[in-house]
Amino acid sequence: MINLDNFFKPKSIAIIGASRKKGKVGNVLVENLLHSKFKGKIYPVNPKANKILNLKCYKSVLNIKEKIDLAVLAIPAEIILKSIKECNKKEVKDILIITAGFSEIGNTKLENELKQYIEKNQIRMIGPNVLGILDFHTKLDTIFLPRTRLKRPEAGCISFVTQSGAAGSAVLDLATFEGHKFAKFISYGNATTIDETDIIEYLGNDKDTKVICLYIEGIKDGRKFMKVLKDVTKKKPVIAIKGGISEQGSKATLSHTGSLAGDYKVYSGVFKQLNIIQAENLEDMLDYAYIFESMLKPKGNRVQIITNGGGYGILTVDAISKTKNLQLAQLTEKTKNYLKKQFPKTVTVNNPIDLVGDADNKRYELAINACLQDNNVDLILLIVLYQTPLLTFEITDLLAKEIHKSKKPIVIVSTGGEIINKFKKVLEEKGIVTYTFPHEAVKALSALVEYYF
């Protein structure tokens, strides 16, 4: 395994191409490191500046007396190799290249020269053509998008590996808005030497990473990928999106990262063989990561629906029927008889259990407890339409108590506007997995069951 510690835990960083001009990539890189409260030392490098953002600036990395763990390059492509040679002379062996202008625009000659030098001198390099790297636990921020435009999430356990910086940044921004928490974010671009497999292998042994998300357009080394992922997916779920599944999309990948996309059916087959969870879109990827982030391992695939809205229960049944690996639970007669005695005749005790529109907190508590004790139930999908009049806000505490003591996975669906969003936010702050629509929750449960079974 390639040691990537200096890319995530450096004690000192040189920003080669640091700039005094606000808004330029080299200025944003320095500013982001300062604002992220990175605890290591930052060394801006620019031959035309004495100071950048109140930090002493160096004309060359060779002028820095202290040891440098990581060099981040944001300079024109034509002088990249010269700068890397200086880094090598300085004994900087870990390099992140932000700069574009290589094989993705047809400049394969320059990229091949870069690769030959890197490999010959045993330098570890991520890039070129990357957005950057984030580590939310070490406060490392080497992506060139301003923090005012792209909010950073809190530290958590999801790591996102992406060949596309744009796709990655959009997901990161949305994930932050929705309250997801991340461990690491890695944009790896053209993968000239260190590729997606090397990064995933590292994350497979990373204590901060519980779930790995992956956006790829093409794989550099198929055999290596299969060998490594076969091992990693036994330890952690890997959720993948393959870009370039159409003929037109496949052609577009070549001009994006210089990567040959390959046949989508082959990738899909390989993902299934390796137990990689395939997401159809970025929204699904986040939904799946969300459920793996905090959900228990299920003991089976039988889902019990509890709802206070009949139509929503029906939509959920329909969604489950479309999956290949979920089935509706069949409550035991003992459970049915018990609940029928507790509830008024208007309540339907089956699957779904329809608590109807006058449901109060107590009805939910009784239904949840009965389903948790029923051996025919493996997972619970709980629909809470908080608009109904008898539910009080104390139900958030009740749900949190029941879910946290539960040994079965429970997800909640709650749909609505401003009031419901506040309700959901409170639940999410209590660590409860909550979705807006039934089909989102069902697809996520299906992914959970797919991984474990």
CATH number (domain holding residue 430):
3.40.50.261
Same domain, 122 and 169: no
CA angle 332, 333, 338 (to 5 degrees): 105
Same domain, 90 and 106: yes
Question: How many CB atoms are closer than 10 A to CB 21?
Answer: 10
Query: Would you say 98 and 25 are in contact if contact means Cβ atoms under 8 Å apart?
Result: yes
Same domain, 158 and 121: no
List Cβ neighbours of 364 (8 Å cut-off, separation of 6 or more): 306, 308, 355, 382, 384, 395, 398, 399
> Residue 222 carries which side chain, given as an amino acid letter?
G
- The beta strand positions in 272-389, using DSSP E, are 277-278, 302-307, 327-328, 353-354, 379-383
Same domain, 218 and 89: no
CATH code, 27: 3.40.50.720
Same domain, 182 and 305: no
Same domain, 88 and 66: yes
List 14's β-bridge partners, or say none: 43, 71
User: By three-state DSSP, how is residue 55 classified?
Assistant: strand
The answer to the question of residue 135 being in a domain is: no
Same domain, 440 and 304: yes
Same domain, 395 and 383: yes
Same domain, 161 and 34: no
What whole-number distance in Å separates Cα of residue 426 and Cα of residue 423?
Answer: 5
Same domain, 285 and 312: no
Query: How many domains would you assign to the chain?
Result: 3
Q: Domain ends where: 234, 267, 294? A: 294
**Helix pair angle (395-405, 418-429), 10° resolution:** 40
The answer to the question of residue 22 being in a domain is: yes
The answer to the question of residue 75 being in a domain is: yes
Residue-by-residue pLDDT tens, the chain, 453 positions? 899 999 999 999 999 999 999 999 999 999 999 999 999 999 999 999 999 999 999 999 999 999 999 999 999 999 999 999 999 999 999 999 999 999 999 999 999 999 999 999 999 999 999 999 999 999 999 999 999 999 999 999 999 999 998 888 988 998 888 889 999 999 999 999 999 999 999 999 999 999 999 999 889 899 999 999 999 999 999 999 998 655 554 454 444 444 444 577 888 899 999 999 999 988 999 999 999 988 889 999 999 999 999 999 999 999 999 999 999 999 999 999 999 999 999 999 999 999 999 999 999 999 999 999 999 999 999 999 999 999 999 999 999 999 999 999 999 999 999 999 999 999 998 989 999 999 999 999 999 999 999
The answer to whether the Cα torsion of 378, 180, 386, 313 is positive or negative is negative
Q: Cis peptide before 128, with omega less than 30 degrees from 0?
A: yes
**Residue 383 belongs to what domain range?**
296-452
Same domain, 337 and 382: yes
